[in-house]
Chain A
Amino acid sequence: MTRRTRTGVILAIGLAACALAAPWLAPYDPGRQFSAYPFAPPMRPHVIDAGGSWRAPFVYPMRLVDPLERRYEEDRTRMIPLRWVSGALVRVDGAEPWFALGSDALGRDVLSRVAAGARLSLGVALLGTVIALAVGAAAGAVAGYAGGWADAALMRVADLVLVLPGIYVVLALRGALPLVLSPVQVFAALVLVFSLVGWPAAARGVRGIFIVERSEEYAEAARAVGAGPMRVIGRHLLPASLGFLYVQATVLLPAFVMAEATLSYVGLGFAPPAPSWGAMLQDAGSARGGADAPWLLTPAIAIVMSVLVVQLAAPARDPLLWPADNS
């Protein structure tokens, strides 16, 4: 493992941990609306007060001075200390909210929503990747080990899915499911769609490895001492494809994160009250949303960061064999 890969894996684990711990890390509930604070800008923590002396981290409360222009001003006369309050890492005392990354149109805390969105967006992508790889490995194993008509049939289907632009396949499959679903149902639907789109790439590679490996001496030897097909596949040939499956995971994961964002953005994924990154981007993409309130672009940064982390974790690969995005 190179240093680059190790950094990537550590960062990826950290990201997953943050997503899991979101409800305890985020200052507020993702749905909580502070209706007096629409489009509040990010509030910078300070450590030096107006008199120039050092203090424990604090923020100045925001005041909405012009509701029409949505202009806020810091109230420099009062200081709100940031404290550890049970249930959240950093939370301000009192009723006045602290928006570390600003608030959206309904006065919801962007930081809390991005943190909660990590569970939806990364969770869907991760589960979809795992199932796609499992199905792909199974299909590839059957095709590569058995050969014959099973191989031909499976690979025809795989080739068809592989040649089509991924997002359109996702779109057509998503369109075949009911359009209005609850968040849990959307989660299941997206995982299903992603697995259907993702398995062929894994199957093709595993099949190729199986065809080479099944006539290697160790596989022949296993067969010679009486191992059945299941044992040869499970004990000898699948472990030989693990490296490939890892690489494939680092290709599928970013592709699925982007697919979720795209689907939710166009209204076929998670619907707005659910804090998925794609759904949140709708606010940033609408009319002047992102231009007037650039902090609404935070989910975009979250998406890019997670893609970058996964790409770091990918083993340095021959770019000619692995085009960077084939989503």
Chain B
Amino acid sequence: MRFVLRRLFAALLLVFVVASGSLLLAQIAPGDYAAQMGGNPAVQAAERHRLGLDRPLVEQYTTWLRRSLTLDLGDSFQYRRPVLDVVGERARNTAILALVSLVLATTIGIPCGILTGSRRGGLLVRLIRAASLMLVSVPPLITSILLVTVAVRTGFAPISGRLSGARLIVPALALALPLAATLERLQAQAIRDALHRPNMLSALARGIPRRRLVWHHAWRLSLGPILAIYGVMIGSLFSGSFAVEIVTSWPGLGDLMRQALTVRDTHLVAGCAAAGALFLGVGVLAADVAHAALDPRVESETA
């Protein structure tokens, strides 16, 4: 329990540092929202005054900080709505995309990895290996552009229009395929390592069928290293989803963040960063807790 609390605190600290950092970065950046909007100098000055952009940097930051303690992240300059409303909607879409992709990648990658890791050869194993070597080298930006092209040509899935389950197919596949390849390779290595342990040999000698040995016992042993990887993977999941969201015009955090940065909507930048950091923190926390539940040594080592 103390372990979980410590990690929870670390996650909250992460959200705070990231939000403040991105706000300050966006504030010291040359140009501001008023200048981006254009208009004559008098209009710009009035706009600056209205938004509080004419006050000193430190004062702007402390005001934001004081309000953020009550979960009020200020108003978006551009949307003229509270940042929480704007971000919440987009964050939900990103979360859906990330979760579906993660589940998809897991259901494709893990069984394939167990298969390729436990067998020496065969056509199927070679096919999977070749496909995963190829996919590991293809970043989500490219998979999404290719999938959009295929979708437009064949019409197997919609890539524009109302948000729906079908609309999710292209972005989820684009994000999941490279991830599945990474998982396949890691799982194969983990199974290989597990099968080389002496207890596996003795189990085989006792007459436990090989199939049961691989899918039951070795897989259990390989779970630890794989769960440790999930914590690291959350980061690449969000990195990938940024490109995928923009290419497939999936209205998530990535696109909002880019927009906010280009028009210098500082409050919105901080809000997006906070939401992203929150997801990241929760993801890493979940992976850590799962890992600790499985392997008590983790808890005693880091707590």
Residues of chain A at the chain B interface (Cβ within 8 Å):
160, 163-168, 171-179, 254, 258, 261-262, 265-268, 281, 284-285, 288, 290-291, 294, 297, 300, 303-304, 307-308, 311, 318-320, 323-327
Cross-chain contact A258 with B141 (CB below 8 angstroms): yes
Q: A165-B276, A290-B145 are in contact. List 18 more A-B contacts (CB 8 A).
A: A160-B17, A163-B235, A164-B18, A165-B280, A168-B242, A171-B257, A175-B29, A176-B28, A262-B242, A294-B149, A300-B142, A319-B189, A320-B225, A323-B182, A323-B186, A325-B236, A326-B235, A327-B139
A285→B248 CA distance, assembly (Å): 9
Contact of A311 among B21, B137, B145, B225 (CB under 8 A): B137
Closest to B225 in A: A320
Is B294 close to A, CB under 8 A?
no
Contact of B262 among A168, A268, A291 (CB under 8 A): A268
User: Closest Cβ of chain A: how far from B240's Cβ, in Å?
Assistant: 8
Q: What residues on B are CB-neighbors of A262 within 8 Å?
A: 139, 141, 242-243
Q: Which of A168, A171, A281, A327 has the most CB of B within 10 A?
A: A168
A281→B141 CA distance, assembly (Å): 10
The B268-296 residues at the A interface (CB cut-off 8 A) are 269, 273, 276-277, 280, 284
User: Closest Cβ of chain B: how far from A87's Cβ, in Å?
Assistant: 32
Cross-chain contact B276 with A320 (CB below 8 angstroms): no
Q: How many chain B residues touch A (Cβ–Cβ < 8 Å)?
A: 54
Can you list 27 A-B contacts with CB-CB less than 8 angstroms, sorted by A residue number? A163-B280, A164-B18, A165-B235, A165-B236, A165-B280, A168-B239, A168-B242, A168-B276, A172-B26, A172-B269, A175-B262, A178-B30, A258-B141, A261-B141, A262-B242, A266-B243, A288-B152, A290-B152, A291-B153, A303-B142, A304-B142, A311-B137, A320-B190, A323-B186, A323-B236, A324-B181, A326-B232
A300→B145 CA distance, assembly (Å): 9
Closest to A291 in B: B152
Q: What residues on B are CB-neighbors of A326 within 8 Å?
A: 232, 235-236
Is B178 close to A, CB under 8 A?
yes
Cross-chain contact A176 with B238 (CB below 8 angstroms): no
Cross-chain contact A168 with B273 (CB below 8 angstroms): yes
Contact with A along B228-251 (1 / 0, CB 8 A): 010011011111001100110000
Cross-chain contact B235 with A164 (CB below 8 angstroms): yes
Is B185 close to A, CB under 8 A?
yes
Q: What residues on A are CB-neighbors of B229 within 8 Å?
A: 320, 323
User: Closest Cβ of chain A: how far from B13's Cβ, in Å?
Assistant: 10
Closest to B231 in A: A163
Cross-chain contact B14 with A265 (CB below 8 angstroms): no
User: Closest Cβ of chain A: how far from B220's Cβ, in Å?
Assistant: 17
Cross-chain contact B149 with A290 (CB below 8 angstroms): yes
Is B51 close to A, CB under 8 A?
no
Contact of A304 among B21, B137, B232, B276 (CB under 8 A): B137
Which secondary structure characterizes the binding site on chain B? helix
Q: What residues on B are CB-neighbors of A165 within 8 Å?
A: 235-239, 242, 276, 280
A165→B254 CA distance, assembly (Å): 12
A164→B284 CA distance, assembly (Å): 11
List of 5 A-B pairs having minimum Cβ-Cβ separation, nearest first: A175-B261, A291-B152, A290-B149, A165-B238, A165-B239
Q: Which of B28, B139, B182 has the most CB of A within 10 A?
A: B139
The B9-52 residues at the A interface (CB cut-off 8 A) are 14, 17-18, 21-22, 25-26, 28-31
Q: What residues on A are CB-neighbors of B258 within 8 Å?
A: 171, 266-268
A164→B276 CA distance, assembly (Å): 9
Cross-chain contact A319 with B138 (CB below 8 angstroms): no
User: Closest Cβ of chain A: how far from B194's Cβ, in Å?
Assistant: 12
Q: What residues on A are CB-neighbors of B152 within 8 Å?
A: 288, 290-291
Is B57 close to A, CB under 8 A?
no
Q: What residues on B are CB-neighbors of A178 within 8 Å?
A: 29-31
Q: What residues on B are CB-neighbors of A311 within 8 Å?
A: 136-137
A174→B237 CA distance, assembly (Å): 21
Closest to B145 in A: A285
Contact of A265 among B136, B146, B239, B247 (CB under 8 A): B247
User: Closest Cβ of chain B: how far from A10's Cβ, in Å?
Assistant: 18
A323→B228 CA distance, assembly (Å): 11
Cross-chain contact A285 with B247 (CB below 8 angstroms): yes
Q: What residues on B are CB-neighbors of A304 within 8 Å?
A: 137-138, 142
Cross-chain contact A172 with B17 (CB below 8 angstroms): no
Contact of A303 among B21, B139, B246, B273 (CB under 8 A): B139
Contact of A268 among B26, B134, B236, B261 (CB under 8 A): B261
Known: A266-B246, A291-B153, A307-B137. Contact between A172 and B31, CB under 8 A?
Answer: no
Is B97 close to A, CB under 8 A?
no
A3→B273 CA distance, assembly (Å): 44
A324→B187 CA distance, assembly (Å): 13
Contact of A164 among B26, B181, B261, B280 (CB under 8 A): B280
Cross-chain contact B189 with A168 (CB below 8 angstroms): no
Known: A176-B29, A325-B136. Contact between A320 and B239, CB under 8 A?
Answer: no
Cross-chain contact A176 with B242 (CB below 8 angstroms): no
Q: What residues on A are CB-neighbors of B141 within 8 Å?
A: 258, 261-262, 265, 281
The B128-145 residues at the A interface (CB cut-off 8 A) are 134, 136-139, 141-142, 145
Known: A171-B242, A258-B139, A320-B186. Contact between A327 and B14, CB under 8 A?
Answer: no
Cross-chain contact A172 with B273 (CB below 8 angstroms): yes
Contact with A along B144-157 (1 / 0, CB 8 A): 01101100110000
Q: What residues on B are CB-neighbors of A267 within 8 Å?
A: 258, 262
